[in-house]
Each structure stands twice: as structure tokens, then as C-alpha cells.
Structure 1
């Protein structure tokens, strides 16, 4: 049987397309940053004009106030010596005093409106500066992710070049890495990209809230905007960490899971994860350990992030020819009949469990939490001595 040739260049082209998707996401974030920067410059120009208008209105107001005082004295004199003035002089004195009073009132109202607009611009400029800073930071973070990806691709190419006779195993590695990149693309699309898009919407809502509901509502919107940017940064950091749990290679599956559980509890204050391991741990091939780790990781992430769970129970049970994993939470649960077909998290878990030739079962009801059960067959050929 002739040896099948692996087209390294073709595989690298496929992976390059995935990197290009990441690069486009980075460019989209950069575009948001530039749009915010342009808005910042426009607001600075408007603020300078507002300040000049305030100065002009104050000068006019001081003049009108002096004129109003003078007209009041004139009106008081006319009223006091009413008989000494003609009807036309009396009428004129009243009209001048009234006209100056109206003009002064309009002037004070204009000054108040200009000051409100100035303060509003000051707050929006501060918020935009923070948005620009966060967006620039996200661009740097995504650039780091792309660097990790391109570095991994080079390693895959070298491994395939030196191990052609292990074609089937190599293809599984490629498939696993391609799946990881799909998940990474989904995570960025559903996380930082969506959050940054909402940042633009929130910026407009702050102005609208201030005008319609007052400064307290605007401050509340601004607080939510800051929290949104903070969450986007947290998501990018999580994505970078999730690229590869290095402890798997050195320590194995169970110690890495324990470390991950501790990390989750450290980042999500108030969340308690109860971890149990029954039976004798065994080591698998690296790609299998990564797949199992991802299954547990995704389940815990769903429980904390989407289920709002405060307690999560993780149990790993080693039997003679099967590994059972149960992830249970006390969160808000969901209606399985209404689960979207294109839920990326569940699709990813099903893809991984199929690669492991295992089974997955999800049990959940609203307000009663969620339980996820994995059964993974333990084949001797996959063990590492």
C-alpha cells in the first residue's frame, strides 16, 4: 500500500485562514478605537466652542444686569413722581425695564444650558478616553492571541513533517486544534466583540439618559459602560489562558482540574466549586487529556457565567473501562426544549465527546440547576505508561 502524502502547504493555508479571521477581529476592535478617538476630537472642539460661548454669555449677562438695575431705578423714579412725567415717558420706562428683564432671564437660561452641556461633554470625554484605552489594550491582547496561534501552527507543521507515518494520529491533532480555533473565534465573537459593539451604543445612551432622566441616570449608564469594558478585558484574558493549560503536560488531568477550579474561585468571588476524584488516576495521550479538560471547563464556565451558580459540584470517577464525570450546579437552569440549535458551547462539547467516542447527557429545568454527565471509554491504547 502506497504511503499517502500529507500536503503541509494546504494545511497551513487552512490554518492561515483561521488566523486571518482573528486578524479581522483585531481590525474591527481597532476601528472601534479609531471611531471613539474621532468622537473624542469632535467633542474637544465642541467643548472649546461651548467655553467661548459661556464666556460671551457671562459678559452679556453682566452688562444686562447693570442695565436692568439702572432701568429699575428709572422705573422707581417714574412711579414715585408719576405726575411729573408724560404718559409716553411712563410707558417707555415700563417697556425698557420689562425688555431688559426678559433679556436677562433668557441670558441666564442660555448660560445654564451651556454649563450643563459643558459638564456633559466633560463626562463623555472622560468615558471616551477610558473606552479608547481599553480598546487599545484589547487590540494588544488579540495580537498576543494571534502570535500564540501562528506559533502553534509552525509547531504542527514541523511535527507533521517528521512523523508522516503517524498520519491518522496527526490528523486528529489537526482536527482538535482546528476545533480549538473555532471555539476561540466564537468566544471572541460572543465576548469582547459583542461587548465593544455595546460600548458604542452605551456611549449614545449616556447622553440620552442625561437629557431625559438627569445626571443620576447618566452616571448609572456610565457605570455599566465601565463594567462592560472591564468584562471584555476579563474575557480576553480568559481566552488567552484557555489556549493551553500547560499544567496538563507536566501534572496530568486531575491536578490541572484542581488548579483550574482554584483559579475560577479566585476570579469569581462568591462561587464555590466542590471537586471530588474517586479512583486511581491514569495518564492519557495529550490530545485526549485536553479534550476531557475542555469538557469540564466548558461545563463549569456555563454554570458560573450563564447559570449564575454560586455552588458547583464536580465529580470524577475512574472505573475499570469508563471514566464518569458529573458537573452539577444550583443555578437558574434552562428549558431544554427551548435550547437554541446553534448554541456554540453545547455544540463544542458534543463535538469533543464524539471525538472521544463517549456520551454526554444534560439535565436541566428552570430554577432547579443543571447537571451534565460525561461517560468516556478508557481504552488501553490511549494510556501513557
Structure 2
């Protein structure tokens, strides 16, 4: 018994060390990713400046080239009619031509150096993007493994029928959480963060434009800056709405579903969501309305992402004791007998429906779209 206790303690110590090493490795990878991301941002800023410098140098070069041609013609005329010019005029013609030739040579050399630096930055930015993506992928994988090893799978999977389903469901929950965090991080980085960085850069350019090109050009740049800020604000609002539709608390389920349908159509060009509500809406507790909203959201997301649908019909029907929701699409459909009952999305929807004490039915066939029916009892959920 003592030997068994010692063995267990040793195993626990080894396991803890392994988890600590994995956690430290995850932190190291994350640090590398953030450093690479910072370098990437700096390179992008430098690339913008270099491209502007190239444009400036080319403009100056064209001007110098034109002036050089004029000076050569002047020099040729002086040389041909040497006796008609004073010694000072001849000397001045030679000096001007030589000075312009030197300036043009320096200009061409500067342009070449800037182009070399631009190409080098382009290559390094591509390599950094690959490094960042690999690092993010590794962090996601390591985090999933650590969370799975240190989590109590029994609490996650008590409602599932078999041990295998418990493990699969637990892993999928963890992966979904990590993917959602990664998606949110990416949305913020590629959306508002990138836009704000550009706003900061553009604000500096406006001052430079005002000095070099006058107030009208600066005003034009300022209008573009306002548009960038407006787009950043819209992107932030979209991210917040995806996290938690605040309209649920203020307006209720039906107006929020209508707004969500309109928002999806704005971001998914060519997609039409036909929303129909029959009957008088009844209010539920906040958590219940969120659960119902997520059910419809999951169905629409599946129709667009997996079914490749261009039309989705959402019908809500209020009966005396029951709320019926039908979500139908004209997408690719699938064979319900093929592994779909173990799909994480379907398992999650069934969990929500069971919490609402309702029923869910899925009807689909390959090539004929998918229809999902929810029946939710009102007496169990409605606010009196």
C-alpha cells in the first residue's frame, strides 16, 4: 500500500512537471508570437513610409531628368556658339549641367536603395505572417491539451451517454472556447487595432500634408481619416454584437432576431434571410432568450457555412402553450444518418433545447437543404 501511494505521488509529480513545462512552452510561444506581431506592425508602418518616399523620389527624379535635358541643350548651344557668350556664362552652363547630373545620379541611387528595402520588407512581412500563424496554431493546440489534462471531464459530460462521447464533447468544448478566443483576438487585431494603427499613421501624414501641400490636401486626408474612424467604430460594434446581443434585454427576442438577420445580410453579400413572426411575442428570462437566440444563430450559421445556402427562412410561431421555430435553407443538405448526431453543433443545440424542456427535429437530404424545428413550451419558460 505504501509503495502504491509512493507510485501515485511520483506519477502526480511527473504529471505536474509535464503540465508546467507545457504551460511554460505555451507562454514562450505566445511571447514569440507577440514579438513577431509587433515587428510586423513596425514593418508595415515602415513600408508605408518607404512607398511614400519612393513616390517622392520618382517625382524628384522626373523633375531632375527634365532639368538635365534642358541644361544639356543649353550647354550644347554654348559650346556651338562659344564666341557669343562670356567666360562667366560658359562656366555657369557647365556647372549647372554637372550639378544636375550629380543630383540625378544621387536620386537614382536613392530610388534603387528604397526599392531594395521595400522588396526586403515585403519578403520579411510574408515570413513573419507565416511565423505568427504557426505560433498561434501551436498556442491553440498546447492550450487545448493543457486544459483537457487539467479539467474535470466528468462535470462537462454527465449528460452524455457514453465515456467516449464525454471525452469528445469535453475536447470540442475546449477547442471551441480556444477557437472563439483566437477568432475574437484576430477580429480585434485585424479590425479595430489595425484601423487605429492606420489612424495614428494617417494623423501624422495629415500634418505633413498640410505643411507640404496646403490646407485643401490636408482636409481631403482628414475626411479619409474620419471614414477610417467610422469603419473602426462599426467593426467594434459588430464584434460586441456577436459576443452578446444587448438588444435582447431592451427589445426582446423577435426584434433582436430581425436585427441579427439584417446584420448577417449586410456582412454576407448575396444572402437573403426571410424572417416571419406569427403571433404575439412573449418575454422570457434573459438566459432563456439568449438560449433561443443562440439556437437560431447556430442554425443560420450552419446553413451559410456548411450548407452554402443563399436563402434562409426563419419562422417563429406563437401558439397558446408552445413556441415553434422553423429554420429552413436551400443549401447542400446532408444525410442525417451519417455521423451528424455526434456533431458538436447538434449536440450543443440538443443541450440547449433540453434545458428549455423543448424538442428538436432535423430534416435534411443531400441536395435538398435542411429544416430544423424547435418546439419550446411556454408554460415552463415564460415570465408571468
Interval containing the TM-score (normalised by the shorter chain): 0.3 to 0.5
**TM-score, length-scaled by structure 2:** 0.45
Structure of higher RCO (CA pairs closer than 8 Å, 6+ residues apart)? 1
**TM-score, length-scaled by structure 1:** 0.45
